[in-house]
Homo-oligomer: A and B are copies of this chain.
Amino acid sequence: MNVLVLNPNTSTDVTDLLIAAGRAVAGAGTTLVPATAAYGVPYIATRAEAQIGGAIVLEMLAERHAEVDAAIVAAFGDPGLHGARELFDIPVIGLAEAAMLTACMLGRRFAIVTFADALGPWYEDCVAVNGLAGRCAGVRTLDGSFRTLSTVQGEKEGLLVDLALRAVEEDEADVIILGGAPLAGLAGRVADRVPVPIVDPVAAAVKQAEALVALSPRKATAGTFRRPAAKTATGLPDALARRIQHRD
């Protein structure tokens, strides 16, 4: 099966990290198809950027959905995920969603640990939107700047492990989620330094995408995720307009 790994950021080196971490757990028959946003910001970190990035997700999916069996919205925080699930027929999974639901099978409460405090409020909103606040022990973030997105996981490795340990000890987290696409692949390297299971969101998302494709759920034609009725659209990118107008 083909699974689109859709990075709604413009950072191709982060896409590379995502693909590498995803391939490490993908099944034999799974091909991960990378896609990086052609415009936008290098990494989404705030509500405003998620609003814009989510619209880019819809545009990218409108262009690529027919080529793949499932898609992963590969920014933790899942910009545009629910709109995508409504608009397209293939399974679409978010990094945060997949990580949180997977974590729920490993413990009572998970903590999300990430590298930049700008990400905190957005991640907390994401937990709430998923109705999982009761399963979340907290979001812990590092202060301070970092050199580059693609190297931040190495630069901050020790600090992130410390933060994870504090989440276990002080917040009673049963599971740690390393949030943020730039941390893709880190979980494996630090697992033996943290005394509870660690979830790598892109790894979780790849397995959940494979699971959904295997279960082959039908596209809803009723309920709140049915495809919206055809509608006039003016001035939108062509592929997206066609999807909204039911010309695709």
Contact = CB atoms under 8 A, between A and B. Distances in A.
A220 B196 contact: yes
A198 B219 CA distance: 10
A191 interface: yes
A220 B27 contact: no
A196 B223 contact: yes
A234 B105 CA distance: 31
Interface string A89-130: 001010001100110111111000000001011000100111
Contacts of A105: 91, 93, 97-98, 101, 208, 212
Contacts of A240: 52
B108 A97 contact: no
Chain B CB count within 10 A is highest, among A52, A226, A235, for A52
A238 to B, nearest CB: 12
A34 interface: no
Interface of A: 10, 25, 27-28, 38-42, 45-52, 54-55, 57-58, 80, 82-87, 91, 93, 97-98, 101-102, 104-109, 118, 120-121, 125, 128-132, 134-135, 168-169, 172-175, 191-192, 195-200, 203-204, 207-208, 210-212, 214-215, 217-226, 228-229, 231-236, 240, 244
27 contacts: A39-B234, A40-B233, A40-B236, A41-B232, A42-B231, A46-B86, A51-B83, A52-B240, A54-B55, A107-B220, A108-B224, A131-B132, A168-B223, A169-B222, A174-B220, A195-B221, A195-B223, A195-B226, A196-B222, A196-B223, A197-B220, A198-B218, A199-B215, A200-B215, A204-B215, A207-B214, A207-B215
